[in-house]
Structure 1
Amino acid sequence: MPQKGMRTVFFKSPPSSIPSTPPSSHSSRPTLSDSMVEETIEVAESFVARWRPDLVAAGSLFQGDDREEARQFIKAVKNLHTAMHCLASRHSSSERLVRAHDLMRVGMERLQKEFYRILSVNREYLYPESVSSVQSPMTVSARSSVSDFEVELEDEFRFANESITEVERVSMSAMADLKAIADCMISTGYGKECVKIYKTVRKSIIDESLYNLGIEKLSVSKVQKMDWEVLEIKIKIWLRGVKTAVKSLFEGERILCDHVFSASVPIRESCFAQISKDGAMILFEFPELAAKYKKTPEKIFITLDLYEAIADLWPEINYIFSSTATSMVQSQAVNSLIKLGQNIRTLIADFEMAIQKESSKTPAPKGGVHPLTRYVMNYISFLSDYSGILNDIMADSPLPTQLSMPESYYGTPKQDDNPITLHFAWLILVLLCKLDGKAEHYNDVALSYLFLANNLRYIVDKVRNSNLRFLLGDEWIERHESKIKLYSSKYMRIGWSGVFSSLPTDVVAEISLEDARESFRNFNRAFEETYRKQTSWIVPNQKLRDEIKISLAKELGDLYGEFYARNRGRARRVSGSDPVVRLSPDDLGNYLSDLFYGFGSESVGSVSSSSSSSHSSPSSRGRFVR
């Protein structure tokens, strides 16, 4: 059974208290005297004579708001039927029985003509959309007795005259007329003729409506030969039309059929099945055909749309096609869900395998976000929008125990963790492992850590800004935020170790003039070398970029500032020699602010050690660049 739409919620058609066929025992029929039989035949004859089917001027029994003539005609035909049974039970003269039979045949011809006319003339008012707006599945119920027509018809008209639209009023009136005729014809043994007319007219409406919705019959071979672009268009057409087809077309037809043929459960079930099952089978077979198309991971989203469409409509499908006669439609819908679910599980498994098999060895330029990271996280974040459906689909596909995630990554799995949550966490872990391997392709260890920080920042942001946040939780985010800080710290410690080590161990300790000048030279050389290399590196995320630069500026700036303040004056420029103090703390901060934009290799330019120049504050990158 499909998971989402069929957990425990099923809608069943209301029970009917109506016997499927009229009582067959002659003893239960009323007994009429000969005079009453004759009077009944004469009354019927007068009505039939006025409304013979071949009389063009007779018009229609069911026209205008007054149904008194129609009510009397139907009553006369029913009484005639009773009289015929009385005559047959007494073995009366065949002449009166033949006369009554001929009258009944002509009367039924008139009712058949009326039945067809009402169905045809009111076609636009009996469209399923109109019918389904009048009554809902939960309120449709069979009437208690076909003999209650008079009271029922009055109730229908009284209801129709209340505050409803013109379309609903005409629809209700036509439905009442059709029901009155169907009740009469079924009770008098002409149900087959009535059903034949109904099926002819209504099946054409179903077929035409499905055609207008773009639903067409396709074969497996035809679908397999299609270009994906063509099939994708057909899937989108199906997705736009399926809700209308189920909730308006088939539900409206079910309501109409139940109402018109409420006198007989077998007749209405059989009639509805013959009208709807061909179109419904075409409708619900299409997703199964689409599921058999050659698979690629990108097709999972439209496949999920197909699954979700059927699952969301399952309560209506279950109700509308609840009879034995339409059980094959339910089975087809279930089978499509099963095939789609299998397809989705396969696509997720293929997606994981594709991550693991990705073998590019070219490092992401400048230590930025790897294309694999973008692709995988975009894919997973889009998948998270379908988490409800995926929980049901993946319920039968738990992670193998040997693939359990380390506690340092995910924590301790809880019993109430959703299946798809574990799968998402696992896919991200597979990606992170892959990124660890790709970080080794860099020749510079510091750049490897910057690469890991960049990619993990991208991953965490994708989680935070999508439904993944509600699945993986804040604890997962906090754990990986800490890892970003760890990677950033390792980048700074390794990437700037030469600059830090160029300064004395104790920057406030007294040192000789020569040692101070040498320290300035070493610092200038180390800073320029590191700066030149790292100006081509990149940190795309502004928040991470600012965090690293602020941290670096604070740590390096504090040390250099102390050393600069104590030793600048003593180490001032000697005439005829290169400047020893080339960078002020402000210059240092400005150079650091230029990092991580990926502008390429640049070097620190000469800066005068004079007071005016050394205390200047560049306002843009490149001011002190050669």
Structure 2
Amino acid sequence: MADITDAEHHIVAASYHLMKALQTTKLMSSDVRGILEKLDFHLSTVVKINEDEPDGDSIRELEKSVVSSHETITSLHLSYSKVWASGPEVILEYLEAVGEVQRSIEALEGMPLSRMSNGVLEQAKTTLHMAMERLQNELIHILVQNKQCFEHEYPVFEVYPIYEESVISNEDDSVEDASLKGRSSSETEDCAMDLIHPDVVPQIKSIADTMFAAGYAQEFCLPFTAFWKDVLAEYSMILYVEQLSIEDVKRMEWKHLNSRIRKWRVAMTRIIGVYLGSAKRLFDQVLGEYDQVSIACLIEASRGPLFCLLNFGQAVLIGPHEPEWLFCLLDMYEVLADLVPDLDTLFSQETESLIRIDFHELLSQLGESVRVILKELGNRIATCTSTTPFQNGGIHPLTKYVANYILCFAEYEDTLPLLLQDQEPVRESGDEEQNMDGEADPNPACALAMYLQSLTSILEAALDEKSSLYRDSSLKHIFLMNNFHYTVEKIKNSKISPYFGDDWIRKHYVKLRQHAMYYQRTTWSSLLTFLHDDGKVGKATLKARCQHFNTAFEDLYKSQTRWVVPDPQLREDVRILASKTVIQPYRNFVRKISDSIGEKHIKYTEQELGVYIMDLLEGSSKSLSHSRKR
């Protein structure tokens, strides 16, 4: 550059300030503004450079490089509204110009301070800043234009009915479908999705590398993180994730809360298991080489929805630890337990991350709540008392309640043993399984087996207590037989049966037969006493015995047609047992006395008696008072 006198310097300085004033006006075209920017660059350099300063030649070479790069960058800005949409050659030219400015800055910063070097350095930094602002805009444009849409369809649930009857209202035989265990068909799928079109990932990385190299890491990370933060917020809304206070959750009706919990499980699985896994892959592709930057951006982008989900879980835990909550809490626990590997992979380098800490704390608290409820379930069964006998000896709601809980435990056979093995087991003497060292078997499945069998033992004790309310001992045995049969059949024909074993089932079938025999004796023994004929009694006595038998049978018929045995096969077996007990003795009795007292005193034939016995235990009272006398 030619020498300039002081007068020329003042003229240039005046022109420079005039140009600065012109730049402030908004009434000019982009072409005129581009010309002023070039003039600004040249004048600012001329004002500040003095050829007498040291390293003048080197600085002038750097100046030429900066001027050339500035012109290239400005030209590309004017020529293309979006550089990264203009093809690889344009992108390469732009990146080379920016790289040249960066190298010039590094060289100038390595020189001794002088008015000459500072002037060029200031202009180089101005050029670089202008380029960085453009790169920010390019980044946002690429993200907006190439974002991939997630599959927003709400997941289809496979529904497993869990009938939760109220123990408190145990006189009501209704069954309410109070809870559904839903499994999303996609909950266990390992599927990472492309958050953005794969073809533009290298473009985003080139912008990241350029901005990081220029010292503009924060200027890249802020819009990049903010964009994905907004995307996740939008996706969370689609998954029905919303901020709810503890009071909001406490005020919810059970069905509404249960629905919320199901959506919470889906959102947890989709966001942590799928979305954030996909986000981490993208963030690592773009920022993985910059130490902790990638994970820091991922945490910042995801903290809002994640804390919202975790806070909801904490709010649910504040509710009462009632048995009716058990399966909802188990579902929540299983979702989190399944997601532990995903979460630990996402935040593997952030052991102190609040997200990770809160996640594991919620998982632990859910497990503890489940343990408390499992214990409370046994207490509730044991303390379920009645003041009146259950109508007609049928299946008590408590039996259905416990049996259905036990059956539903099969859906959690991987989780429950782990939660129960830390509990202090209650074993019966001689029932311990021993390992090779002589210690109790540590197999977690044993803990579940012991717990389940303890529930049935508590149930049996409660049923035995309830049976004492019956005045008629025959009905007492019908009641126990019905309830034992219901429990054993439910368990035997379910996936939970291995936790009870064949020996348990055999023992309970023995109990069933015992109650059937007790029923037979207490019901029909009194009738059989009337059918005794030793040949030494008179006709009047025989007639009286016939009359007493008829009256006793009619009373029995009236009461026991009202009694109920709901299971058709069990009912048939009991009737057959009754027929075998009564019909043959009645046949022999009638054969012996018919010639002596005449058929008119024999009210029922053996065939009629057999038919009437088949009317018993239907749950609908009938009467024989108007039967035809023979």
Q: Is TM-score (shorter-chain normalized) higher than 0.5?
A: yes
After superposition, residues 469-480 of structure 1 pair within 5 angstroms as 469-480=497-508
Given residue 608 of structure 2, which amino acid in structure 1 is its aligned partner? Answer: D
Offset of 1:383 from its aligned partner?
Answer: 3.8
Secondary structure in structure 2 of the residue aligned to 1:388: coil
Secondary structure in structure 1 of the residue aligned to 2:564: coil
Tell me, in whole angstroms, the C-alpha distance in 2 between the residues paired with 1:553 and 1:173. 84
What does residue 143 of structure 2 align with?
119
What does residue 166 of structure 2 align with?
none
What does residue 603 of structure 1 align with?
624
Relative distance call for 1:580 and 1:139 in structure 2 (3 A) is closer
After superposition, residues 145-544 of structure 1 pair within 5 angstroms as 171-228=197-254, 230-324=256-350, 327-399=353-425, 401=426, 404-405=427-428, 415=441, 416=443, 417-504=445-532, 514=539, 520-521=546-547, 523-544=549-570
Relative distance call for 1:406 and 1:549 in structure 2 (3 A) is farther
CA contact (8 A) 1:376 1:431 kept: yes
After superposition, residues 14-93 of structure 1 pair within 5 angstroms as 41=66, 44-52=69-77, 55=78, 57-63=79-85, 66-91=87-112
Secondary structure in structure 1 of the residue aligned to 2:477: helix
Relative distance call for 1:366 and 1:231 in structure 2 (3 A) is closer
Offset of 1:326 from its aligned partner?
Answer: 7.1
Give per-residue Cα distances to partners, 1:219-272, cap 9 Å, x unaligned. 334434555455444333323322222233322322222222123122112222
Is 1:570 aligned with 2:595? Answer: yes
Is 1:580 aligned with 2:580? Answer: no
CA contact (8 A) 1:116 1:197 kept: yes
Relative distance call for 1:419 and 1:188 in structure 2 (3 A) is same
What does residue 622 of structure 1 align with?
none
RMSD: 3.4
Tell me, in whole angstroms, the C-alpha distance in 2 between the residues paired with 1:36 and 1:390. 75
CA contact (8 A) 2:195 2:278 kept: no
Offset of 1:434 from its aligned partner?
Answer: 0.9
CA contact (8 A) 1:366 1:538 kept: yes
Tell me, in whole angstroms, the C-alpha distance in 1 between the residues paired with 2:619 and 2:254. 40
Tell me, in whole angstroms, the C-alpha distance in 2 between the residues paired with 1:316 and 1:129. 21
Given residue 80 of structure 2, which amino acid in structure 1 is its aligned partner? Answer: A
Relative distance call for 1:442 and 1:139 in structure 2 (3 A) is closer
Given residue 501 of structure 2, which amino acid in structure 1 is its aligned partner? Answer: G
Tell me, in whole angstroms, the C-alpha distance in 2 between the residues paired with 1:325 and 1:363. 59
**Identity of matched residues, %:** 26
CA contact (8 A) 2:143 2:196 kept: no
Given residue 567 of structure 1, which amino acid in structure 2 is its aligned partner? Answer: K
| Structure 1 alignment gaps of length 5 or more | 1-32, 131-136, 141-166, 610-626
Give per-residue Cα distances to partners, 1:266-316, cap 9 Å, x unaligned. 211222222222321222221111111133321222222222222222222
Give per-residue Cα distances to partners, 1:549-594, cap 9 Å, x unaligned. 1122123223333444x436524627xxxx2333222112101100
Give the TM-score, by structure 1 length: 0.75
Tell me, in whole angstroms, the C-alpha distance in 2 between the residues paired with 1:227 and 1:368. 32
Secondary structure in structure 2 of the residue aligned to 1:362: coil
| Structure 2 alignment gaps of length 5 or more | 1-57, 154-188, 435-440
Relative distance call for 1:127 and 1:592 in structure 2 (3 A) is closer
Offset of 1:440 from its aligned partner?
Answer: 1.0
Give per-residue Cα distances to partners, 1:457-509, cap 9 Å, x unaligned. 1211222344332332333222212211111111101111012233338xxx8
CA contact (8 A) 1:513 1:570 kept: no
Please say which structure displays the higher CA radius of gyration.
Answer: 2
CA contact (8 A) 2:407 2:496 kept: yes
Secondary structure in structure 2 of the residue aligned to 1:496: helix
Relative distance call for 1:513 and 1:67 in structure 2 (3 A) is farther
Given residue 517 of structure 2, which amino acid in structure 1 is its aligned partner? Answer: S
Relative distance call for 1:266 and 1:109 in structure 2 (3 A) is same
Tell me, in whole angstroms, the C-alpha distance in 2 between the residues paired with 1:478 and 1:239. 41
Given residue 593 of structure 1, which amino acid in structure 2 is its aligned partner? Answer: M
Offset of 1:42 from its aligned partner?
Answer: 6.4
CA contact (8 A) 2:371 2:420 kept: yes
CA contact (8 A) 1:285 1:333 kept: no
Q: Which has the higher contact order (CA 8 A, sep 6+)?
A: 1
Q: Which of 566, 580, 585 pairs up with 1:559?
A: 585
Tell me, in whole angstroms, the C-alpha distance in 2 between the residues paired with 1:532 and 1:454. 20
Relative distance call for 1:462 and 1:436 in structure 2 (3 A) is same
Judge which range, 72-81 or 85-94, deviates more: 85-94
Aligned residues: 526
Tell me, in whole angstroms, the C-alpha distance in 1 between the residues paired with 2:377 and 2:267. 30
Tell me, in whole angstroms, the C-alpha distance in 1 between the residues paired with 2:80 and 2:222. 24
Given residue 469 of structure 1, which amino acid in structure 2 is its aligned partner? Answer: S
Relative distance call for 1:488 and 1:406 in structure 2 (3 A) is farther
What does residue 130 of structure 2 align with?
106
Relative distance call for 1:139 and 1:370 in structure 2 (3 A) is closer
Relative distance call for 1:343 and 1:394 in structure 2 (3 A) is same
Offset of 1:523 from its aligned partner?
Answer: 4.1
Given residue 118 of structure 1, which amino acid in structure 2 is its aligned partner? Answer: I
CA contact (8 A) 1:297 1:351 kept: yes
Relative distance call for 1:177 and 1:511 in structure 2 (3 A) is farther
CA contact (8 A) 1:539 1:545 kept: yes
